Amino acid sequence: MINRIIGFFLVLITAFSGLFSVYSPGSEIEFRAEYPAGERDMAKYRGIYTYVDNLGGVPSLFVNGEPFPAAAYMTYLEEYNNYDLFAGCGYNLFSVPVLFSGRWISSTELFKPFHGGIFDDKTAPDFSSLDSSIERILAACPDAYIFPRVNMSMPLWWIEENLGCTDGTGVRESLFSSEYRETAADMLRRVIRHINGSAYASHIAGYQLAGGNTEEWFHFDMNAGCCENAEDEFNAYLKKHYPDCGFSGLPDLPLLKGKGTYHKDEHLARYLEFASNAVADDICYFSSVAKEETGRNLVVGTFYGYSLEVTVPLHGTHSLRTLLDCDDIDFICSPNSYIGTRNMDYDWTEMYPADSVRLHGKLCMQECDIRTHLTKLLSEAAPEYDEGGNLNAEVWHPLENKEQSVSMIRKSFSRQLIRGNGFWWFDMWGGWYNDPGIISDMGSMRDILSASLSREDRASKAETAVFADESMYKYVTDCSLRNAAHYMRAQLGFMGTPYDIYDVSDFEAVYGRYKAIIFLSELKTQSMKRALEICKEKKIKYISVSGSKKEYSAKELRAYCESRGVHIYCDSDDVFYIGGGYFALHSGEGGVRAVRFERDVSFRELLSDDPLTGRGKTAEITLKPNETKLFEIIQ
C-alpha cells in the first residue's frame, strides 16, 4: 500500500512539473503538456477553451461552451490602468500589450511602447513584463479572462543581422521576408509556451496577433515595403503565381500618383498585390502557429482588411480574402472609423467590410479608442514617453465636455450591440473613462450586451447591401475616386435604414437577400465583372460611384432605396441603427425625430434615469445636439 501511495504521488509530481514547466530558449527539450486519458488539448486541460460560433445568426464568442459577452478593457499605459473600476462594474475580459521588442509602434508618429520587449536582449528573453502585466489584471479581477495583444515587431539586434527597409525610425523588418516570418514564429512559440507553463494559463482566452506599423500590419515604410531588399521576394512571387508574365524587378510606384483615373501597368498591380498578399500570408502562418501551440482551442485574431478606411494600396492591407479563407483566424479587428477625424455626427463604422467577415463565420471585434473630456495629450499625461509632442494632432485631443463623451461612448456601443460585434474600450493613456457616470454606463452596457446574447434572432435585417472592392485599389490613381468607399460611409450612415457591407467577391453568395444594391467602385475587376453580369442577367437596378459620380448624398441614397421597396425608418439625416431587438438614434443637430416602424412595436429606452417608453408604428424622440439614445424593442 505504501508503495502504491508513493507511486501515486510520483505520478502527480511528474504531471505537475510538466504542466508548469517553462520553455527554456535554446533547450533541446520541447515543451509538451501531459494529459489525462481522453483529454485532447492543453487548453481544456488548463480549464479554458474558447471559440467563435453562430449565436442567433451572428458569429459570437464562447468561453467553456457558453456564450460570453465580448466586451473588454485595455490600456497601453498600464501604470495608469483602471482595471479595478471596470472589474467593479462587471467586466472580466481584458486585453494587454505583449511586446517582442521595445521599438517604435508607430514609425509615422514616433510612438514607442511603454516598456521593453521580451526579446530585446538576444541572449536572455525576459518574460517579467508579460508576467507582471497579467498579474496586475488578476490582482484587480481574479476571475479575469485575458487575450494578449502580441506585437510581433523585431528587436534591434535582429534588424542588424537581417535585411529590412527604412522607415522614419531607421531600418525595420520587411513583412514579406522569410527570415522575419520564421524568427517571429519562433518567438511567438516561446511566448505561448511560457504562458502555457505559467500559473495564469487558465486565464488566457485567446491571442490577438499584431505587427507592422501601428500594430495594424501596415508596411513600416507605408510604401509597400518597396526597397532593394524586396526584389528577390517579389520575383519569387511572380515566378510562383505569374510564371508567364515576363516581368521582373521593382515597379514604378509613382505611377499611382499619375494623371487620370486608372493605370494599366500590370507589373505595378502585381507588386501591390504581392505587398498585401505577403502580409496576409504572414498573419495566416502566425495564426496557425498560435493555434498549434494552444491545442487549437483558443481564439486567434488580428487587425486587418481596412479596405473602407485605408484606400492607399501601399499599406499592405488589401488581402482580406486570404484571411477570410483561413481556418486559423477567428476574429478580425479594427478601430472605430476615423472618418472626418472622428466627426461626432458620423457613424463610426468598422474599417473592413464587416458582413463579409460575418459571412465567413468570423467575429467582428472593434477597438473603441474613444477620446473623452478626460483625455490628455500623451505629452501631458506621461511626458517621459512623448517629450517631443509627436502625438499632438487634432485626433488625439479631448472632447469638450462629459455630455459629448457619454454620447460618443453610447453611439459606439449601440453600433457594436446592434451589429453583434465584440469590442474593447481602449483607454490608451489611462484614465480616459475614470468618471463615476461613465463607469456606471460601462457596467450597464455590459449587462445589456450580456442580455442580448439570449435573443433568438440577432441577425441583420438590412434590406440594402453595399459592396466595396479591395482588389480595385491596385489600379486606381484618382485619389477622390479611391476615397469614395471612405467618405460614402458618412452618407450611408445617414440613410435612416440599415445596410450590410461586403467585399464584392461575396456578391454572388448574398445578393439575393437584398432589395437594393450599392457599389462603391466602378472598376471592372474580376469580381466586379461577375457582379455586374449577375445584375444584368437578373435585371437588378443598382447604383454605383464612378468617375463622374463619386459620391451620393444621404437623400439620394434614401430615394434609391425607397424606390426598391426598402423600408426607411428615419429621414432626418441622423445616425440610425436597428437590429437584434434594439434601435438607436444619434443626432448632431438635435430636436424632435420620428422613427417609423413597419408594424406596431413596444419600446423602452435604455441607459436613462427617465426612460421613454411607448407603443405604435412611430416613435417621437427628442434629442439634444450630439446626443445618442438607445432603445430595446420589447416585442
Query: 226-277: per-residue pLDDT in tens?
Result: 998 899 999 999 999 999 998 899 999 988 887 788 999 999 999 999 999 9
Average pLDDT of the chain to the nearest whole number: 91
Nearest to 486 by CA among 357, 367, 351: 351
Query: At 33, is the pLDDT very low, low, confident or very high (cuts 50, 70, 90)?
Result: very low
pLDDT score for 256:
86
**Cα three-residue angle 229-235-236, rounded to 5 degrees:** 100
Which grid cell sits at 553?
448624398
Q: Would you state the pLDDT for residue 117?
A: 96
Report, as an integer, the average pLDDT of 156-178.
89
Select from 315, 362, 248, 307 the least CA-distant residue to 525: 307
Does domain 45-452 fall under CATH 3.90.1150.10? My reply is: no
Residues of the chain above pLDDT 70, percent: 93
Superfamily assignment of 575-633 in CATH?
Answer: Golgi alpha-mannosidase II (2.60.40.1180)
Q: Residue type at 152? A: M
**Model pLDDT for residues 326-348, shown as the tens digit of each residue:** 999 999 999 999 998 899 999 99
Ramachandran angles phi, psi of 483, nearest 5°: -85, 5
Asked if residues 205 and 298 have their Cβ atoms less than 8 Å apart, the reply is yes
DSSP letter for each residue of 219-271 = -TTSSTT-SGGGHHHHHHHHHHH-TTS---S---GGGGGSSSSB---HHHHHH
> What tens digit of pLDDT does each residue of 446-498 get?
999 999 999 999 999 999 999 999 999 999 998 888 888 888 999 999 999 99
For residue 43, the model assigns a pLDDT of 61
pTM beyond 0.85: yes
Average pLDDT over residues 196-211: 97
For residue 513, which of 533, 532, 540, 495 has the smallest C-alpha distance? 540
C-alpha span between 75 and 137 (Å, rounded): 11
User: What are the boundaries of each domain within the chain?
Assistant: 2-34, 45-452, 464-563, 575-633
Please give the Cα distance from 472 to 474 (Å, whole number): 6
What is the predicted pLDDT for the residue at 44?
66
CA-wise closest residue to 603 among 567, 630, 625: 630
- Per-residue pLDDT, 482: 87
Q: What is the mean pLDDT of residues 546-573?
A: 96
For residues 115 and 92, the model is more confident at: 92
pLDDT of residue 4: 39
User: Closest by alpha carbon to 127, among 199, 205, 207?
Assistant: 199
Please provide the size of the chain in residues: 635
29 pLDDT above the threshold of 50: no
Instruction: Select from 3.90.1570, 2.60.120, 3.30.310, 3.40.50 the CATH code of 464-563.
Output: 3.40.50
